Amino acid sequence: MKKAVFPGSFDPITLGHVDLIYRGLEIFDEIVIAIGVNADKKQLFSLEDKIRQIQNTFKEEPRVKVESYKGMTIDFCKSINSKYILRGLRNSSDFNYEQSIAQTNSSLSSIDSVFLITSPQLAFISSTIVRDLIKNGGDYKSLVPESVMY
C-alpha cells in the first residue's frame, strides 16, 4: 500500500489543501494529514478544532486519516511506515523552499517527496491569507471547506 504524509499546520485547512489531497488520492492508497504541533507558533485554531475540521471535511473518504505529531516529519513518516511526503506548490518560491526540505529529507532518510502543482483557480489561497481575513472580519468562506466556517 502506498501511503503519503501530507504535513502542515492547517491553520486552517483550505480548499487548496482539499484539492491537493483528493488529487493525491489518485496516486496514493492512503493519505495521512499530519498536523505539526509547534508550541512556539501562534495558532488561530486549537489542535482539536483543526482535527475536527479536517475529519469533517473528509468524513466520506476513508482513505484520508488525520494525526498530529511533534518533531521531524521524516520521523513521523517512519513511525507510520510511510515512504512519501506529499506537498503542494503554488509558485516558484514554494518550489525553492520545498526543494531544499525534500533534498534534506532524502539525505537523512529513504523518504521521497512528491510535489503537485496547485490547481490554477486555487493557487492564490493560503492559510495565512485566510487567517488574516478571519481576524479582520473579511469574507473567507469561498476559500475554505464548510467545516471551517463559524
Which of 78, 90, 126, 131 is catalytic? The answer is 90
Which of 9, 82, 113, 127 is catalytic? The answer is 127
Which of 41, 93, 107, 142 is catalytic? The answer is 41
**Residue 102, phi then psi, degrees to nearest 5:** -60, -40
Cell numbers for 38, please give them: 509547534
Which residue has cell 502542515?
8
Which of 9, 17, 50, 87 is catalytic? The answer is 17
78 catalytic residue (yes or no): no
Cβ partners under 8 Å of residue 147, min gap 6: 13, 52, 53, 54, 56, 57
42 catalytic residue (yes or no): no
HSE (side-chain half, CA atoms, 13 Å) at 48: 0
Closest CA to 147 of 52, 25, 39: 52
HSE (side-chain half, CA atoms, 13 Å) at 131: 12
Residues 109 and 74 sit within 8 Å (Cβ to Cβ)? yes
Residues with catalytic annotation? 17, 41, 90, 127
